[in-house]
Every structure is written in structure tokens, then in C-alpha cells.
Amino acid sequence: MNYSDLCMQYVASGIDLLEKLINVHVCRFQMAAEPVNLNEFQELARLALPKMYYDFYAGGAEDEHTLKENVEAFHRITFRPRILVDVSRIDLSTTILDYKISAPIIIAPTALHKLANPEGEVATARAAASCNTIMVLSFTSSSSIEEVAASCNAVRFYQLYVFKKRDIAATLVQRAERNGFKALVLTADTPRLGRREADIKNKMITPPLKNLEGLLSTKVSSVRILKLMPRDHGCFFKLEGFRMAKIYYKLTNFDQGDTYS
């Protein structure tokens, strides 16, 4: 990670540089002992990132009930040991949409990777390539579709929010397809963004969403995240969304004028 770039990014975001330098150095000191599990990576992230950004990645909506329940759900899963079997050759590889991957794990779409690293989603795509898995690029990525496509040969899917303003989504799908993205991943559970209380308290600001430049009238580079998708652009989803997505993917004849609520 290029720390000076990271610090410059913090300064640009109006975040206190001294505090971050201290945290980054504490973090690097602690890095002497390599993290051995996800919890330790999370703790390093907490030390290195501005609170505003850490809270964005780590937090959930309202009382964070679902967030806690997600963690609990994983705790309820146990492995059934199988003994006296030949483990000399272990193969976890599988296929998704005919693309072979090393294990049944792909990178889910998550927004705004540049909050954590100046390379943003480009670095994530390279990680996907080196692990021989698939990256799903978020609709609200901080690196552009083209930058991610040029960075490596990872198999890439593109996550789509179906916007009321259909031309926005259609334009992005066309760009993704032109740049070798292999499939669309439709997000159906975000007709409105959750009420993320930490983001409200932190007065969360975002880096520019490069893919939306020139498409949204909103000045997305400095708005609070809750205003990112204002009413007239807001994403929505119902069965109709599937029809639209299908049309987008064929890239023909979408009804630009129609409105849905």
C-alpha cells in the first residue's frame, strides 16, 4: 500500500492527517506480527482507516440486527468431519456460469474500495485473478469499469442497481459488456439505502464514483452517502427489473421514457 497516497486521500477528504499518520504507524508496527485470521485483519483496518471509512465498511443499518445475525448464522454452521478418507488430493474447484474457479468463493460486490486503498477495485481485481476466482464489481465502485478491466485477466461480473432513470443503468451495462464483463449480478434488496446511523453521525463523504460521472446530475464526489441516490435517480427493484435487465443485457431497445415507482 502506498501510504503517502492514502494520506493525501485523507487530506482531500478533510480528515485529520496527524491522527491518520499515528494510526497508520501503529498499524504498521502491529503488522510485524502477521494477521492470522479475518478478525485480526479487521482490527488492523480499524487502526489504519479513518473512523468514517471503517464505520462504513464495518457497520450496518439501524440497530445492526441483521449484521449481528449474519455473523451468528455463520457460527451456527459446523463441518461434519469425515475420517479415514483419502485427502492426498483435495480439489475445491467448481464452476459458476461455466467459469472454473479455485473454490466456491467469489468476491461479492462492495462499494468504494478507494476508501481503504488508493488502488481501489483495481487491487481487488488483481487479488481475484491471483486466487483464480471471480470478482463482482460494484455499481458504486470507486475505480472505473475500464480501469478494472485493464488491470488483470480476472473473470469479472458487473453488479447492477436498476435505476428509475434507465439510461444510467443501460449505459453502464453496455460499458461493462464492451470491457469484457461476463455477467450481470442484480441487487434486489436495495430499493432504498438502509438508514446507516454511523454514516449519518460521521457525516460520511465519498470519493468520486467514476462510473457515474456525467450520468448523474448530483455532485457525487462530495455528497453524503445517504444522498447518493436521490429520489429521481433512486434504484428500485421488482419483477419488472428482471425484464429490464434482460433487455439491457441484449442491449436493444430499452424504453427510456417509462417510469416505475
Q: Which residues bind ligand FMN (CB under 6 A)?
A: 57, 70, 108-111, 138-140, 159, 187
Is the CB of 28 or the CB of 64 nearer to ligand FMN?
64
Least distance in angstroms from the C-beta of 176 to ligand FMN: 14
| Cβ at position 233, least distance to ligand FMN in Å | 15
User: Could you tell me if 202 and 51 are in contact, meaning their C-beta atoms sit under 8 angstroms apart?
Assistant: yes
Report in angstroms the alpha-carbon separations of 107 from 103, 204, 252: 11, 25, 29
Q: How far is the CB of 126 from ligand FMN (least distance, A)?
A: 19
Shortest distance in whole angstroms from residue 107 CB to ligand FMN: 9
Is 141:211 a contact under the CB 8 Å cutoff?
A: yes
**Residue 59 or residue 85: which is nearer to ligand FMN going by CB?**
59
- Residues 183 and 169 sit within 8 Å (Cβ to Cβ): no
Shorter beta-carbon distance to ligand FMN: residue 28 or 198 = 198
User: Which residues have C-beta within 8 Å of that of residue 76, sequence separation ≥ 6?
Assistant: none
CB of 49 to ligand FMN, least distance (A): 12
* Residue 108 or 200 having the CB closest to ligand FMN: 108
- Least separation, in Å, of the C-beta of 135 and ligand FMN? 12
Nearer to ligand FMN by Cβ, of 152 and 185: the residue is 185
Q: Spell out the residues 6+ positions from residue 205 whose beta carbon is closer than 8 angstroms to its own.
A: 13, 14, 52, 222, 223, 224, 225
User: Can you name the residues that pair with 155 across neighbouring β-strands?
Assistant: 134
Between 28 and 131, name the residue whose CB sits nearer to ligand FMN: 131
Taking the C-alpha atoms of residue 136 and residue 147, their distance in angstroms, rounded to an integer, is: 14
Spell out a b/e string for 227-258, using b for 16 or more CB atoms within 10 Å of the CB, else e: ebbeeebbbbbeeebeebbebbbeeeebeeee
